[in-house]
């Protein structure tokens, strides 16, 4: 059985090694999904992504802030049934407008320097997801819940 510290290491490894996540939002009870480039804080409490304010995803987030992100390491091979790991992130999203925005922006750009022009455009919002919990799946059927923080 994997202990909590090891589970957090697996989550941290996925958040560090993967560049893309599937983001799910909703509007009026209808789901909507997008691929996003993301970055996470080391303490696992926040995940960041950028989006234009003119998108459906931004409208959904501002109307209903609950989100889900799926981050995995699948290779689309048969071995994934034994070896792939996935984590679902549940949390609430809001635009990062506070005094820490620059710190978050630098964290995001450290992982995605090729997106600097996009993320620094005046039409782009940096979104901060406050993580409520992670649901980790390994070996295609072993499910565990992990909470951010110490």
Mean pLDDT of the chain: 88
Q: How far apart are CA 132 and CA 11, in angstroms?
A: 14
Angle CA(88)–CA(40)–CA(45) in degrees, nearest 5? 75
Residue 1 has pLDDT above 80, yes or no: no
Q: Which domain holds residue 59?
A: 4-146
pLDDT tens string 93-146 = 999 987 888 999 999 999 999 999 999 999 999 999 999 999 887 666 667 667
Number of domains in the chain: 1
**CA–CA dist 106, 123 (Å, integer):** 18
pLDDT value at residue 139: 61
Q: What is the CATH number of the domain that holds 133?
A: 2.30.110.10
Please write the tens of the pLDDT for every residue from 32-81. 999 999 999 999 999 999 999 999 999 999 999 999 999 988 766 676 56
State the sign of the Cα–Cα–Cα–Cα dihedral 2, 87, 16, 92: negative
**For 114-127, how does the pLDDT look when each residue is reduced to its tens digit (9 = 90+)?**
999 999 999 999 99
């Amino acid at each position: 059985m994997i202990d909590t510290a090891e589970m957090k290491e697996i989550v941290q490894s996925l958040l560090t090694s993967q560049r893309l996540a599937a983001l799910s939002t909703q509007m009026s009870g209808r789901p909507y999904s997008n691929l996003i480039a993301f970055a996470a804080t080391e303490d696992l409490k926040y995940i960041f992504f950028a989006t234009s304010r003119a998108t459906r995803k931004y409208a959904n987030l501002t109307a209903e802030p609950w989100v889900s992100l799926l981050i995995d390491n699948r290779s689309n091979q048969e071995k994934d049934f034994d070896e792939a790991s996935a984590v679902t992130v549940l949390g609430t999203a809001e635009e990062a407008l506070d005094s820490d925005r620059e710190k978050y922006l630098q964290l995001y750009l450290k992982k995605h320097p090729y997106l600097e022009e996009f993320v620094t455009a005046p039409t782009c919002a940096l979104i901060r997801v406050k993580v409520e919990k992670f649901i980790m799946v390994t070996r295609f059927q072993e499910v565990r819940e992990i909470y951010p923080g110490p």
